[in-house]
């Protein structure tokens, strides 16, 4: 029996894979912080009564990131993904609510125990591990994880030319009290643009943050915030199950990202996102990854501060 709780064991395992980097997140260690404004659509209030989804625009703080725990990872490396996009909406009275999304639609595992087992298998499958490696064995027993690991994940031309997905379902409640399950999508107005392998290899190590700075100097980068609504019978407690494309996708508004903050390195240390920092009108679903993620992010945050 391990005296450590699951969140501690998970962060320990992340540190074992990526190394300990004091002051940095256990994963998504390398990132850039920007700010701008969110303007809700007229339809947003038909989905949720949340305060930022009706009425006036809100200020937002956005952090884009590479996926790994290595703060020096070259952005063009195939293994640097999946990239992340985290959005903090600043509400009245100093409150805030977060969206924490990544560039892959569908997660590898459905619960924390499987996630820890996958991290352990990765840690034990370094160079020279005899085949079948622990990771090969894990993937053979977990088809959803195998699908995610095997999928081609191209490097984007820009943080602003890749869609991002919330993956974990949330419950959205409108002013009449009607609730529906949905998953966030952040869709770049610039479209989806990716690099081929040779282009990605030729990029400087920090090209994604550099590109964002020069892009924003020419005007804001916009994303449509949307929610894909579940149909009756869709699994809402399992992030490995992607809902069919024909489910309605409702636009909630436009994120307009206007500038990278002056001292992004300092800003990202102070910042913390949490998939369960919600607000009235948006509640958790029974997806066990939400509670798990929230506890693991808190553990990572404690260590980096
Ligand atoms: C078992 C599931 C997961 C675990 C244990 C996990 C763990 C973590 C941890 C420890 C951090 C660093 C937190 C901090 O120090 O502030 C983090 C950050 C992040 N995670 Fe996850 N994660 C999980 C699933 C996901 C999923 C499903 C998504 C996307 C939908 C995601 C997107 C992100 C992003 C974008 C960040 C960076 C947030 C920022 O910019 O501060 N993660 N994750």
Domain boundaries, the chain: 6-304
What ligand 1 atom has the least distance to the C-alpha of 165?
30
Tokens of 193: 């643009």
- Helix (H), strand (E), coil (C) string for 150-216: HCCCCCECCHHHCCEECCCCEEEECCCCCEEEEEEEEEECCCCCECCHHHHHHCCCCHHHHHHHHHH
**Å from CA of 42 to ligand 1 middle:** 31
pLDDT at 55: 85
Specify binding-site residues for heme: 297
What ligand 1 atom has the least distance to the C-alpha of 299?
10
What ligand 1 atom has the least distance to the C-alpha of 304?
15
Nearest-Å Rg of the Cα atoms of the chain is: 19
Low-confidence ranges of the chain (pLDDT < 70): none
Rounded to two decimals, the pTM is: 0.98
**115 touches ligand 1 (CB under 6 Å):** yes
Distance, in Å, from the CA atom of 301 to the CA atom of 26, rounded to the nearest integer, reads 9
Closest C-alpha residue for ligand 1 atom 3: 293
**292 touches ligand 1 (CB under 6 Å):** yes
Three-state SS for 118? helix
Tokens of 231: 């149909």
**63 touches ligand 1 (CB under 6 Å):** yes
Return the CATH number of the domain spanning residue range 6-304: 2.40.180.10
* ipTM surpassing 0.90: yes
**Å from CA of 176 to ligand 1 middle:** 33
Tokens of 160: 């602003």
**Å from CA of 293 to ligand 1 middle:** 7
Contact yes or no for 6/292 (Cβ under 8 A): yes
Measure the CA angle with vertex 163, ends 206 and 112; round to 5°.
90
**277 touches ligand 1 (CB under 6 Å):** no
**Å from CA of 280 to ligand 1 middle:** 23
pLDDT tens digits along 95-142: 999 999 999 999 999 999 999 999 999 999 999 999 999 999 999 999
Closest C-alpha residue for ligand 1 atom 13: 297
Active site residue 28: yes
**Å from CA of 177 to ligand 1 middle:** 30
**105 touches ligand 1 (CB under 6 Å):** no
**142 touches ligand 1 (CB under 6 Å):** no
What ligand 1 atom has the least distance to the C-alpha of 303?
15
Q: Pick the catalytic residue: 28, 52, 142, 152?
A: 28
């Amino acid at each position: 029996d391990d005296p450590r709780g699951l969140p501690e064991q998970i962060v320990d395992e992340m540190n074992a894979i990526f190394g300990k980097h004091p002051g940095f997140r256990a994963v998504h260690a390398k990132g850039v912080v920007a700010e701008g404004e969110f303007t809700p659509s007229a339809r947003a209030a038909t989905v949720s009564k949340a305060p930022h989804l009706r009425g006036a625009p809100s200020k937002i703080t956005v952090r884009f990131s590479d996926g790994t725990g290595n703060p020096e990872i070259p952005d063009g490396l195939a293994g640097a993904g999946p990239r992340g996009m985290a959005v903090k909406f600043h509400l009245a009275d100093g409150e805030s609510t977060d969206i924490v999304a990544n560039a892959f639609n569908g997660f590898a595992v459905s619960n924390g125990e499987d996630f820890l087992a996958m991290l352990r298998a990765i840690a034990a499958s370094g160079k020279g591990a005899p085949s079948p490696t622990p990771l090969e064995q894990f993937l053979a027993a977990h088809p959803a994880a195998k699908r995610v690991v095997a999928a081609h994940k191209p490097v984007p031309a820009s943080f602003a030319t890749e869609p991002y997905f919330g993956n974990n379902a949330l419950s959205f409640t409108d002013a009449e009290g009607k609730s529906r399950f949905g998953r966030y999508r952040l869709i770049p107005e610039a479209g989806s643009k990716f690099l081929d392998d040779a282009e990605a290899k030729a990029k400087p190590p920090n090209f994604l943050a550099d590109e964002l700075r020069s892009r924003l100097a020419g005007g804001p980068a916009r994303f449509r915030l949307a929610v894909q609504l579940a149909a009756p019978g869709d699994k809402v407690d399992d992030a490995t199950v992607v809902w069919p494309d024909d489910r309605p996708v409702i636009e909630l508004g436009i994120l307009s990202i206007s500038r990278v903050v002056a001292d992004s390195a300092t800003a990202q240390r102070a910042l913390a996102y949490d998939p369960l920092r919600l607000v009235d009108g948006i509640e958790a679903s029974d997806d066990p990854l939400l509670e798990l993620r929230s506890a693991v992010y808190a553990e990572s945050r404690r260590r980096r501060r």
